[in-house]
A and B are shown apart, each in its own frame.
Chain A
Amino acid sequence: MAMNSNSKKSDRHYLTGREVREIAKQNAKEMRRLEKEKNRKLPESAYVTKMRDDGNILEIENLHSYFFTDQGVVKAVNGVSFNIPVNSTVGVVGESGCGKSVTSMSVMRLLQGPTGQIVEGSIRFKAFDFKRDEKGKFIPVYERDANGEVVMEQATDKKGKPMFKNGEPVMRPKQLRDENGMGVYEKEEKVFDIAKMPIKEMYRLRGRQMSMVFQEPMTSLNPIFTIGDQLDEVTLLHVPGADKKYAKKHSIDMLNLVGIAMPERVYAAYPHELSGGMRQRVMIAMALAGQPRLIIADEPTTALDVTIQAQILTLFNDLKKKINGSILLITHDLGVIAEMADYVVVMYAGRIIEQGTASEIFHKPCHPYTQGLQKSKPTMKSNEEKLFNIPGNVPNPINMPDHCYFKERCSKCIGKCSGEYPGMYQVSPTHFVACHLYASEAENAKQ
């Protein structure tokens, strides 16, 4: 009996009821604190910051996102830092459970609370937000004549009838309108620290400044509303002064943009009437409807066939040029990354193990994991006899060891690997790797 309990204790997966309760109690305390922080009101100055480098649209620095489960704390994202330059595509690769989706969810502040929380770090995002007055209202831009004077017009009521007061027409300044007839408001560039923002303020950013294309088009559309209803909602929420007529026009434009052949018919259809590829296009149209500056695509093609995948990837590449935005592309397919990304981030067990430009990662991979990942995927051109395989599995995310997480599966271990977790070594100006093998090389590069 005694032996039995011992063997159970040594098994890392097994926890006694008492242990589980203890962990749950500690977690509850921590979660309550973080939830409170998320919901409290803050003045804007508390979360407006400055970018480190003005060429970036998003800077993630030392991000820690944890899940407080009853088995222990899962450090899904454990100190991740990378930047997304303006007008570029950054690809994040890794196997399932390496924290790539959690990183993107953290950027959108969509982690499922109260278990999932951003614990530490900052996410700086350069937004092009509406300017607000003291009351929090948008400031309109007025039409000016040649002398710089504000043009006045007669005010109308809601039905469009001209308004009179004491027999005199009521005058008001004329607001500038864009080609669609929507009122123009003053905008300004502001940098927000998303990690510190109260969760309510995120409505200002989501959809309008950054939007997300989710992994499964089958489940991310609401089955009881038509495509039109769901697309219109974005416009109605994010374009000030938009009415239903304008929303419909805009939605159909968006469906056209993503290459749907009969947009009017799709507009009136329900999600179940569309194929997987069409649904994914609708998801992309929805993401674009608010004209965001950053699109986060979380495995946008995983559920699709190769021929449809090729269509969607071509579409993304075209759209990036059209809307002049940046893309954060998350995928496990190295081929997709190679076709799309300018910069690549490789993640393993919640940490970045290698980052660099696409050609650096694909032609000169440094980390043994990146090398293994590339060799273990059969390609169309190669003719190898036996596939290389990385032995073992991804380690249990609870109770991670102190040394390099890849040590147990690595074929190039050196003595130093049992020591502390390796830092990021710089191999070239844009290429970083977290592996002790490159310590000396990095020293040389510095000198």
Chain B
Amino acid sequence: MQNNKVNTAEQERELFEQRVATNKAAIDSGDFSNFDDEVEFTLEQQRKLEQIELDKVAPTNPEAILEVRHLKKFFVLKKTFLGKPLSSLKAVDDVSFMVKPGETLGIVGESGCGKTTMGRTILKLHEPTDGQVFFEGEDIAKYSQKDMRALRTKMQIVFQDPYSSLPPRSTVGDILSEPVKVHNIVPQSEVKDYVMDLMEQCGLRDYYYERYPHEFSGGQRQRICIARALAVKPKFVVCDEPVSALDVSIQAQIINLLKKLQIERNLTYLFISHDLSVVKYISDKIGIMYLGSMVEFGNKTDIFNNPLHPYTEALFSAVPNPNPDEKTKKIVLTGDIPSPANPPKGCKFHTRCPRAMEICKHIAPEYKEMGEGHFCACHLYD
């Protein structure tokens, strides 16, 4: 009986190796008619797990303030009867990057690509499914919410919608002094002076102290949100689409304010936006996300002057050009972004990619370094 079992396992292994061999032959010959997607998927999972195990013990980069390794966030959609996850939405699927202090990392992508979820997962506002987040050399992914509370003075967030992220029943003074009191930033007696000082830095008049959020316009509210985030003297701020709800002339005011504060306080930003021109203006490094994965990452100049991934190219050409005489040829992507609950096989972008090849439909490209600090995941550069 036992013998029999071993035999089957051996046979299975043999069979599997055979299938792997046929797949390899298919890749070499470029003929994908007999390609086995199941085997490729298993192999890919193995490769990924090995890489993750390798990276787990690797020392952190001493220069980085934030280092994210293989971060994953899955939302469970369906559960079995016993509560085991049956299917899940991969909002963030294996993202790795690094930010140096004083830098701004811009994250760009279409809606539903997981950029906001990533920002929130880094701050542990969502519990990460897997992966490591090193903040100043310590893995905070394992921290409990209680441990995180102390860290909140170092990392903060500015939310997207200034209309819904302020409590309507508190005055500006209350909103801004609460974090100061909770974290004992200054002695009780100096709280008001401290808040007044902060308000002045963020371009808010001192008589706003007694007012309620509904009395302000969108731009002023966003200033209050920024002041609230900065009240605890953080080192790292996640800006989640801070200007997309604002008008153009107000947008410029807020962006200039963020830049001014960054220089004054040596802040590090993770700037999430779907507006490429704003990201270009404010960022030092840029990461481009598609369906939960990072498809390209690099310095601003590299990304803008030499975009590698076809998605990046299409994204850049889709931005309207404010010069009516220059009619540039556009790369118009067909179709919509696929559902992250059921992403396409192989390269996730192949369904919309204008330069898709046969290999893209079957094998997911590896995310690797192409130039100095310029990462990309695309088969075009194999």
Contacts and interface: CB of A to CB of B under 8 A. Distances in A.
Q: Do A and B bind each other?
A: yes
Interface of A: 13, 95-96, 261, 275-278, 305-311, 313-314, 332-339, 341, 358-359, 362-363, 372-374, 376-380, 384, 386-391, 393-394
A380 B280 contact: yes
Q: Is the interface of B mostly helix, strand, loop or mixed?
A: helix
A380 B220 CA distance: 27
Given A307-B110, A307-B333, A310-B330, A387 B281 contact: yes
B356 interface: no
22 contacts: A95-B250, A96-B247, A277-B336, A305-B110, A306-B276, A307-B315, A307-B332, A309-B320, A313-B320, A337-B322, A338-B324, A339-B321, A339-B324, A358-B324, A362-B323, A373-B249, A377-B248, A377-B252, A384-B281, A386-B259, A387-B255, A393-B219
Contact of B319 (A278, A380, A386, A391): A380
A387 B280 CA distance: 12
Most buried by A among B110, B252, B280: B252
A278 B251 contact: no
Contacts, number: 120
A338 B249 contact: no
Interface of B: 110-111, 215, 217, 219-220, 247-253, 255-256, 259, 274, 276-278, 280-281, 304, 314-325, 330, 332-337
A378 B280 contact: yes
B250 A378 contact: no
B309 to A, nearest CB: 13
Contacts of B251: 376-377
A276 B250 CA distance: 27
A393 B217 CA distance: 8
Nearest to B336: A275
A174 B215 CA distance: 68
Contacts of B274: 305-306
A378 B277 contact: yes
B325 A335 contact: no
B330 A389 contact: no
B322 A376 contact: no
Contacts of A379: 277, 321-322
A336 B330 contact: no
A277 B274 CA distance: 16
B315 A306 contact: yes
10 closest pairs, A vs B, by CB? A335-B320, A376-B252, A378-B281, A310-B318, A389-B252, A358-B324, A95-B247, A305-B110, A390-B249, A306-B318
A307 B314 contact: yes
A95 B248 contact: yes
Most buried by A among B277, B281, B325, B334: B281
Contacts of B335: 261
Contacts of B248: 95, 332, 334, 373, 376-377
B326 to A, nearest CB: 9
Nearest to B338: A275
Contacts of A333: 320
Given A373-B248, A386-B256, A311 B333 contact: yes
A308 B247 contact: no
A108 B106 CA distance: 42
Contacts of A309: 318, 320
A296 B111 CA distance: 26
